[in-house]
Structure 1
Amino acid sequence: MGLKELVGDVLDHLEDDGPFLGRPEVDTLSGSDYANMKEIRVKFGKQVWRFAFAFDPAQRAIVLCGGDKQGMNEALFYKQLINKADARFGAWLKEAKNEH
């Protein structure tokens, strides 16, 4: 199974079991502007991909961005991941609010 298929399977699992998933697959991202910002981990070989997501008011998991921190400074990786995820989630919430 390739990375694309594995990520698809994990995201399907997130869609099915969302708020009930916990460690070690899912953990809260500290430092986010949103208390419900989380990361889901996808193991692929020696890599562990991390995807930031949050639940919108309708309890849908919104996957915002992701990456592999291998070879990166951990603090820098998470700062960039969280900043991008916060910006995207804020835009998502604003757009969703305008649709209603």
Structure 2
Amino acid sequence: MTSFVITVPGTFVSDVADSVPLAVERKLAPRHTEFSENEGLQLLTLNEDATFSIRLEVEAPDKYEAELDAMRIVTAALKDAGLSESDAPLGPPAVTGIDSGL
């Protein structure tokens, strides 16, 4: 297995309470591990134009599985924070880091 840092972009299409980003970060905190922290990556970046980026670490056999897993995890975290897919549509995930342990 390989550790991938996946970045998932999104947009809040309506105003969200201040508690929503905190709830998302709490849910995803276990996915922000030593590898991604050492790279200086923030788990959640909020922009003034209502866009956001989530960076999380995923263990997977390949890039494709890592991206799929990241999308499932981010979607679940947003749902747990009270947002539907239409409240915070996500863009395509991208691999932004790889640690194969070599």
Common fold by TM > 0.5: no
Pick 1 or 2: higher relative contact order, CA cutoff 8 A, min separation 6. 2
Q: Name the structure where helix makes up a greater proportion of residues.
A: 1
Please tell me the TM-score bracket, short chain as reference. 0.3 to 0.5
Normalised TM-score (structure 2): 0.32
Normalised TM-score (structure 1): 0.33
